[in-house]
Amino acid sequence: MRSTLSAVILVLLVLAILPADGLTEEKAVQLSLFTPLQIRPEDTSIKYFRFNLIYGRNTSLVGLDLGLVNHLTAGESQCLQVGFANWVEADLKGLQYGVINATRGTFTGWQWGFVNYSGHTKGFMLGFVNYSESMYGLQIGLINVIKEGGMLPFFPIFNFSF
């Protein structure tokens, strides 16, 4: 009786810890040559890791996003994106590191690249060109634009809004 109860508890603990790949639309890993040639459909959320050799597109990601062009389309993502171009159509919390970083929604964290763009930024932008529709944070670069609510709409070297 005691060993049966212990076995049931152990199975429940293992099920609680393992990712629920078969139970939700969230998958643990995505590998992509280019969309649609990828192991998961583009309308799938990824949790943990995504590698895009050329171009990959998914709805959202929690984890690490590596590739040439990384594209997320919906929902809130929490990740580290590293690539030539990082493009998020919704909200992102984390770090974008690439030549071109763009988040259409709210970006919370740090964008580090040649060109950085965000609809609304809460955090830090470091790049040659930084552009945010509105911002709570700091931009450092040659061209810094905060369209609404910045120290100035445009200011070279740095710009901020607190």
* Segment 110-158, tens digit of pLDDT: 999 999 999 999 999 999 999 999 999 999 999 999 999 888 999 999 9
Mean pLDDT value across residues 40-66 = 97
What's this model's pTM, rounded to 2 decimal places?
0.83
For residue 27, what are its two tokens?
């998958």
CB neighbour burial string for 63-99, b if at least 16 within 10 angstroms, e if fewer: bebebebbbbbebbbebbbbbebbbbbbbbbbbbbbe
Q: Which residue has the tokens 């629920």?
A: 20
Spatial separation of the C-alpha atoms in residues 90 and 117, rounded to whole Å: 13
